[in-house]
Structure 1
Amino acid sequence: MLVRSLRKSPLVLLFLALCAFLGWHKSGYSLVPAASKSDAVSSNKGPKTPRIAVVTFITDEKSYVHLSLKNKDHYARRHGYDFVVDYEAHTDRGTTYWKFNMMERLIKTNKWDWIWWVDFDTLITNTDIKVADIIEETLRNATVPDDIDYLTTHDCNGLNTGSFLVRGHERSIKFLHDIYTISDHAKKTTEHGLSEQDSMAKIIADDKASGARTMQVPQWKLNAFPKEIACFDKSEQVWEPGMFVIHFAGAWAHVKGEDPTGQLMTKYKDEIIWGDWKNFYE
């Protein structure tokens, strides 16, 4: 009798179907397929990608301004990093000290986890490589990774500040101020003062806290030199195709010509692994 009455009453069937749906939904089941639900959970796993600023400055005309800017801007766009350039330097300590002023200014914004300083006379020759991966790989060797604030490289003369990383933390501001103090003291007590590189090296060497927060990255990995500038760290590794960065430090002392750095920039620009610009310009 019930079956016959239901067949004759479509409204009753619709009512029962609606009740069944509401009861099933209330019981906690989701209309999202199981695979999609799982994917949503897994997407939240894994290490957080650090916020990185690629930083440099150029204060005068050079033959390679466009190439250097294009290269670093392309790299930053490709990996979602920020690219910061200053075109003026206002410091009474010497122009090269402006890199520390820039870093302090950027750290205070609290926008970035790491600041990558890279000199203007450099080319990122393999834009496939993420500097975030270099940070991660280096910190794996630290006892307490969160305590490491400075990743530096050396050449044949010791510390080289052409390419190094500073954590975007208030501790780093104190470190920069200590460098200023060393610089100002040297300026008062010596005839020529200290370069920004020598001041930073002195702080790392003399201050135990700063030294403990510093890790050295192999030169070839973050700041490689070409064969024309044979001033390598203890690895004695010359730049090779496929390496991350090439730095033409002190080209004027190693290469003859009116524009040594420009000549090397032109020579090595065809070695750059760019990646497809369409992936991040469109």
Structure 2
Amino acid sequence: MLFRSLRISPSVALFLLFCAFLGWQLSHGPIAGQPIDPPGPGAASPRQTPRIAIVTLITQEKSYIHMSLRNKDHYARRHGYDLVVDYEAHSQRGTTWWKYNMMERLIKTDKYDWMWWIDFDTLITNTDIKIADIIDETLANVTNAHEIDILTSHDCNGLNTGSFVVRSRESAAKYLRYTYDLHAEAKQRGEQYSEQDAMKKLQEIDPLVAKHTVQVPQWKINAFPPEIACFDESKKVWEHGTFVIHFAGAWAHLKDDDPTGLLMRKYEKEIVWGDWEDIY
């Protein structure tokens, strides 16, 4: 009767009621599911967690296989990284070259933003530290951050590829392939280049590769213990709380039937693991 007396059709009345409800809803806050304040063109977007693979290789029986694998798997689980391990190497250049083959293979999958190569004779002694944060800190200190493809470290002999980081894109894969050419050229001259020698030489002779590479202090990603006193210019030895420890060339520094295993077992006690209940 009300609609008839006001000469308003039921459909118009329903529309007016809907508008009244909508006005009340807006006066009390945003509609559910709608952003409160959409970001403007200059607003920073939320930081996206990079996709990272931890990459390593073991092809022989060692006394510390379980220790090394457990350590790296624990770290990968803790931070949501992937652990990629190969147990065979098929490079005609030698076993150590297989690390570059692995990197190239992973770049082709387009699954990762960065790949961290770490030799098997290592322990991540502080699992609180994220390799992603080290990458960010390093790039924040260079002017051409978007051009950097490789993060390396040095020891007392120069470049050491026991721990280095590669951006997962074709330009990085290209630099790795260049090292194969250097190896082939050296072989024709009767010389023998390791994968480490080739990468070092490439950075020396190719300004473009050098421009796309940045050196990280050894203690940050590739620290040596006092038993292996071969440090970069910082002269900083591994200490409790350091990120990684590497037992490179332990055989040349310790007189023992199993020098690397001896050091691995000694420093395993120093690992900062974190609460396993939060990981498993």
Which aligned pairs between 1:137-216 and structure 2 lie closer than 5 A?
137-191=137-191, 193-216=192-215
SS of 1:234's partner is coil
Distance (whole Å) between structure 2 residues aligned to residue 237 and residue 167 of structure 1: 27
Distance (whole Å) between structure 2 residues aligned to residue 139 and residue 182 of structure 1: 28
**CA offsets 1:136-184 (integer angstroms, 9 cap, x no match):** 0000111121101110000000000000001101101110110011111
The aligned counterpart of 1:246 is 245
Distance (whole Å) between structure 1 residues aligned to residue 18 and residue 230 of structure 2: 79
What is the CA distance between 1:188 and its match in structure 2?
2.1
Distance (whole Å) between structure 1 residues aligned to residue 214 and residue 22 of structure 2: 60
Paired letter, 2:148: I
Which aligned pairs between 1:88-167 and structure 2 lie closer than 5 A?
88-167=88-167
SS of 1:152's partner is strand
Runs of 4+ in 1 over 6 A off after TM superposition: 15-19
**CA offsets 1:13-57 (integer angstroms, 9 cap, x no match):** xx99877424534889524499x947x97xx84332211100001
* C-alpha distance 26-37 of structure 1, shift in aligned 2 (>3 A): closer
Q: Is residue 30 from structure 1 mapped to residue 30 from structure 2 by the alignment?
A: yes
Distance (whole Å) between structure 2 residues aligned to residue 17 and residue 25 of structure 1: 12
* C-alpha distance 274-205 of structure 1, shift in aligned 2 (>3 A): same
TM-score (norm 2): 0.88
TM-score (norm 1): 0.87
Distance (whole Å) between structure 2 residues aligned to residue 279 and residue 254 of structure 1: 38
SS of 1:105's partner is helix
* C-alpha distance 202-29 of structure 1, shift in aligned 2 (>3 A): same
Distance (whole Å) between structure 2 residues aligned to residue 198 and residue 165 of structure 1: 17
The aligned counterpart of 1:225 is 224
Distance (whole Å) between structure 1 residues aligned to residue 124 and residue 79 of structure 2: 13
SS of 1:271's partner is coil
Distance (whole Å) between structure 2 residues aligned to residue 16 and residue 112 of structure 1: 54
What is the CA distance between 1:280 and its match in structure 2?
2.2
Distance (whole Å) between structure 1 residues aligned to residue 152 and residue 60 of structure 2: 27
Distance (whole Å) between structure 2 residues aligned to residue 194 and residue 33 of structure 1: 60
Q: Percent identity?
A: 63
The aligned counterpart of 1:276 is 275
In the alignment, structure 2 segments of 5+ residues that lack a partner are: 3-14
Paired letter, 1:138: T
Distance (whole Å) between structure 1 residues aligned to residue 252 and residue 187 of structure 2: 26
In the alignment, structure 1 segments of 5+ residues that lack a partner are: 3-14
| RMSD of Structure 2 on Structure 1 (CA) | 2.6
Paired letter, 2:122: T
**CA offsets 1:174-206 (integer angstroms, 9 cap, x no match):** 101100111111122124x11110001000111
Distance (whole Å) between structure 1 residues aligned to residue 230 and residue 22 of structure 2: 75
Q: How many residues align?
A: 266
* C-alpha distance 45-280 of structure 1, shift in aligned 2 (>3 A): farther
Distance (whole Å) between structure 2 residues aligned to residue 170 and residue 150 of structure 1: 12
Paired letter, 1:256: K
Distance (whole Å) between structure 2 residues aligned to residue 81 and residue 37 of structure 1: 33
